Amino acid sequence: MEATLPGTPILLQRRFKVQEINGDPALVAIERAIHELRCGRALYCCETDDSGAVRRGMLVAAAETVSTTLLARLEQVAGKAGLALAITRERAETLGFSASAADGVDHDAVLLRTHQLTSASVVGWLAGVHPSNSGLIASDRRFAVEPCDTLIADVLQLAKSARLLPAALIIPLPTAPQEVLTITKAQLERLVPSASSDLERVSEARVPLAGHEECRLVLFRDNRDAAEHVAVLIGSPKPGPVSVRLHSACLTGDLLASLRCDCGDQLRSGVEQLAAVGGGVLLYLAQEGRGIGLANKLRAYELQDTGLDTIEADRHLGFGADERSYGAAASMLRHLGMTRIQLLTNNLDKIEALRSAGIEVVGGQSLIGAVNRHNARYVHAKRERAGHLLPEINLDEIL
């Protein structure tokens, strides 16, 4: 559908597609859907045919943000069929359910059906909102476990992108309620690592740092979810492979000097090492808590205080061992004209991710942070469970 702008001279009129006035409709729909979930409102998610007709649809609400009022309204819509709760395979296993119990096939997510989904506190408990109260309930015969299809798995990925727990209330519904935002499966499938076209170079300025005054900050914005990533250009990088550090944001470690991780030490050490070789770039990525967000990172900390390691705690909440992606980092490097680099990292996954994205990584250099009695188990888990290139730690000596 096309239109012309009224009230302007014919020579100045520009023809445009009305449905694309705000840009890519899929990216707009994703951003709006993320906002709706974070605000505790329901969405209508559907799969359509080539003509746009709904083949299958469902009303969904994020388990973490559902209110008592919304839950009561959803119950009315569901009627006798009742509500179902979609959770990830990791969360299902934590609760004692088999993610493949329904048909022997592995699934990324399952549906729980029970008459107990009548209070926001119960829904929140099943989703992991109050992780310290979670326990094994697989022996409870009041729960039925069913497999999920890819549409529901996409809904859980949307919740992750909203930095919410990956759990959602589901009600099959043939048509969308009038006041509810609709998003299609085709639009949800755009939830993939950033491509160059998704990042916009927004602004930049000279920002002297303590001890390293020749620095420039360049801000990039992801058009998919409005996340903002910063490139810190330090000194004057030499020709050839540029020294690069990818650093995921850590408010507790970077800003508050938390002793529970080694992030703050790695950030400051990274700046020092880049300056020592004459210059380089530090990419500060908006991926708090290995991609699960600050709220969930604090929930994971609570679980770690009960004896779980960092990876076990994230899985307990329904997340994978590492939810980060590095598409945005690769895109930032291309924008900066840095496609041949040497990476400062202990994480081999970062090297592989950048190479897969077309960045030539010609070498690596470890970046070791200080170990103390508060972060020793965390650093030990990164070495033993995630394969990071870190020195062996004797926990008995430190603890």
Q: For residue 272, what are the contacts with CB-CB under 8 A and spacing of at least 6?
A: none
Catalytic annotation, pick one of 89, 245, 315, 324 = 324
Question: Residue written as tokens 């909440």?
Answer: 317
- Amino acid in position 352: E
* Residues 43/62, Cβ–Cβ less than 8 Å: no
Catalytic annotation, pick one of 322, 334, 349, 383 = 322
Q: For residue 41, what are the contacts with CB-CB under 8 A and spacing of at least 6?
A: 61, 70, 180, 181
Question: Residue written as tokens 């709904």?
Answer: 54
The Cα-based distances of 373 to 53, 256, 259, 297, 301 in angstroms read 59, 17, 8, 19, 15
Please give the backbone phi and psi of residue 23, each rounded to the nearest 5 degrees, phi first.
Answer: 95, -155
Provide the 8-state DSSP code for 166. Answer: S
- Token output for 198: 């998704």
| Residue 349 is among the residues annotated as catalytic for this protein | no
Please give the backbone phi and psi of residue 128, each rounded to the nearest 5 degrees, phi first.
Answer: 105, 15
The whole-angstrom separation of Cα 146 and Cα 111 is 5
| Residue 254 is among the residues annotated as catalytic for this protein | no
Please give the backbone phi and psi of residue 310, each rounded to the nearest 5 degrees, phi first.
Answer: -65, -35
Catalytic residues: 322, 324
